[in-house]
Amino acid sequence: MLETIKETISFIRKQTDLRPETAIILGTGLGSIADEIEADTVIPYEQIPNFPVSTVEGHDGKLIIGRYAGKEVIALKGRFHFYEGYTMQEVTFPVRVLKFFGIKNLFISNAAGGMNPDFEVGDVMFINDHINLMPNPLIGKHVPEFGDRFPDMSEVYNQTLIRRALDAAMKHGLRAHKGCYVGVTGPTLETTKEYEYFRIIGGDTVGMSTTPEAIVAHQMNMTIFAVSVITDLGVPGRIEKISHDIVQQAASKVTPKLVKVISEIIADL
Ligand code: HPA
């Protein structure tokens, strides 16, 4: 695995002179940041050696290296989900690459269902803990260069960045919370009782990404900031039938304010 990562990095380094320390995984809700990056280099995933091969038609995965909010950044437009059939090693490979490329700060966004009764569609939640209900991405042969075999998980998400994000959200009139994200495999959405169960065990939002990436990034000692955009509710009495389109539409309404919040935090790093 280390050799493959090194091969990938040497390819990327040849494409750019920039050496960013901040990366953004542009999940649902933050995709439009891609348009605001002053790009130095854009590399489609299929050109990157050892990157997972996309199985989804029309999937425009690309790595964007450039400048944003006064910082050099690398953005991953398009991510790999476990439900698409990738192994956990494939899902998290880009995060390993980022670390060895020199990334210290990792920003992640996702769309999620909200179980907390105080939440509304269109709110955001800055993740301060998670419950991972997917296979653990660290299962398998241990690579000491990645970090601990048994990583401590008592503080995965950076508290200072959460505080700054809450302040910035208030300033921009974005309804924001902090809380616990439950990571599930999908691709089914939750039954009524599953939402109820996730609430009982301590979850505020639920979604199909982020925990594998956060686990791997935390093992490698990266500073992590992650945000859920609440696109639907898993609150008893307020559950409605949802589709992928509804999720996308709800997320796109929040994007402009959320992008402002994220850009301020990055500028302040
Ligand atoms: N559950 C799981 N994943 C999701 C949801 C949800 O309610 N909404 C958006 N992604």
Q: Say yes or no: CB of residue 204 within 6 Å of ligand 1.
A: no
Residue 62 has pLDDT above 80, yes or no: yes
Taking residues 77-96, what's their average pLDDT?
94
Index of the ligand 1 atom closest to the CA of residue 234: 7
Averaged pLDDT for residues 74-101: 95
pLDDT (tens digit per residue) in 105-144: 999 999 999 999 999 999 999 999 999 999 999 999 999 9
Q: What is the average pLDDT across 42-47?
A: 93
55-69, 108-122, 200-214, 253-267: the lowest-pLDDT one: 55-69
CA geometry: angle 221, 153, 142, nearest 5 deg = 65
Task: Name the residue with the closest Cα to ligand 1, atom 2.
Answer: 207
- The neighbour count for residue 115, using CB atoms within 10 Å, is 29
pLDDT band at 267 (very low <50, low <70, confident <90, very high): very high
**Does the beta carbon of 190 sit less than 6 angstroms from any atom of ligand 1?**
yes
Is any ligand 1 atom within 6 A of the Cβ of residue 161? no
Q: Using a 6 Å cutoff on CB, does residue 206 contact ligand 1?
A: yes
Judge if the beta carbon of residue 254 lies within 6 A of ligand 1. no
Cα(256) to centroid(ligand 1), Å: 21
Place of tokens 């950076």: 158
Q: Determine how many CB atoms are found less than 10 A away from the CB of residue 198.
A: 23
Which range has the top average pLDDT, 1-5, 173-177, 252-256?
173-177
Q: For residue 246, is pLDDT > 90?
A: no
* Each residue's pLDDT tens digit, 3-26: 999 999 999 999 999 999 999 999
pLDDT at position 264: 95
CA of 202 to the centre of ligand 1 (A): 16
State whether the beta carbon of 231 lies less than 6 angstroms from ligand 1: yes
Separation of 112 CA from ligand 1 center, angstroms? 4
DSSP state string for 104-140: -EEEEEEEEEE-STT--TT-EEEEEEEEE-SPPTT-S
Per-residue confidence (pLDDT) for residue 202, from 0 to 100: 98
Res. 29 pLDDT band, cuts 50 70 90: low
**CA-CA-CA-CA torsion sign (125, 128, 134, 137):** positive
Tell me the C-alpha distance between 99 and 111, whole Å.
24
Note the pLDDT of residue 240: 80
pLDDT band at 151 (very low <50, low <70, confident <90, very high): very high
113 CB within 6 A, ligand 1: yes
Mean pLDDT computed over every residue of the chain: 93
Region of 202 (left: φ > 0; alpha: ψ -120 to 50; beta: rest) is left
On the question of pLDDT at 55 being above 80, the answer is no
Domains of the chain: 2-267 (3.40.50.1580)
Rounded to an integer, the average pLDDT of 54-69 is 79
More confident residue, 154 or 30: 154
* Strand-pair category, 38-44 with 62-68: antiparallel
Q: Tens digits of per-residue pLDDT, 180-230?
A: 999 999 999 999 999 999 999 999 999 999 999 999 999 999 999 999 999
Residues 6+ apart with CB under 8 A from 189: 113, 232, 242
| Ligand 1 mutation target, pool 229, 231, 233, most atoms within 8 A of CB | 231
> Which of 190, 227, 248 should be mutated for ligand 1, with most atoms under 8 A from CB?
190
Q: How far is the CA of 130 from the centre of ligand 1 (A)?
A: 15
Local confidence band at 59 (pLDDT 50, 70, 90 cut-offs): low
